[in-house]
Structure 1
């Protein structure tokens, strides 16, 4: 597992209060494949809180991805929904958990909030 992925999962609980504002509760199992080895992460989500453990378990949803793709996701070089739509990763179960979880991923490098751009344009006018 890459250091970026390890750091992402370690920081997840501290980011949860800002990210998990919606009233969504459930458990997401994330399976990351690398060669013939698969690592499992179990993420329990609730409003304002997240817990992470390295294990399999009963889950409301399962997201399977390559470890390489997941590293690109946690570094902002790929987008989760696009990866699923392109069949680069698979998802089954409660789709709301996936849609909420993807908010933990950073935006791609160089992307700016359109509201900030609009404020700059309005300030120049």
Structure 2
């Protein structure tokens, strides 16, 4: 597994207070596949916190994706929902968990928040 993936999972607990602000609560299993091998990650999400483990526990939802594609997700080169819609990844269970979890993925390189772009435009025009 790539270093970017390891760093991504290690960063989740510190980033959770900023990302998990709503009333979401549940257990998400991520299955990362490489040829005939699957690595399991288990995420217990609650408002403001996330616990990450490598255990296989009962989950409310399962997201299955190749390790290569997941590396693209954690580096911003790929988009999670687009991968599911292209059938390159599968998702089953509580869809709200996936929709919240994808907020942890970075924006594609070079993408800017449109609100910040508008603020800069106002400053230059003002």
Flag structure 1 segments of 5+ consecutive residues without an equivalent: none
Query: Does the alignment pair 1:88 with 2:88?
Result: yes
Q: Normalization by structure 2: what TM-score?
A: 0.97
Instruction: Report the equivalent of 1:28.
Output: 28
SS at 2:78 equivalent:
coil
- Aligned CA-pair RMSD: 0.6
Instruction: Report the equivalent of 1:104.
Output: 104
Task: Name the count of aligned residue pairs.
Answer: 125
Deviation >2 Å, runs of 4+? none
Residues in 2 aligned to 1:56 and 1:30: alpha-carbon distance in whole angstroms: 10
Cα deviation for residue 120 of structure 1 reads: 1.2
Alignment of 1:1-125 (within 5 A): 1-125=1-125
Residues in 2 aligned to 1:19 and 1:124: alpha-carbon distance in whole angstroms: 31
Q: Normalization by structure 1: what TM-score?
A: 0.98
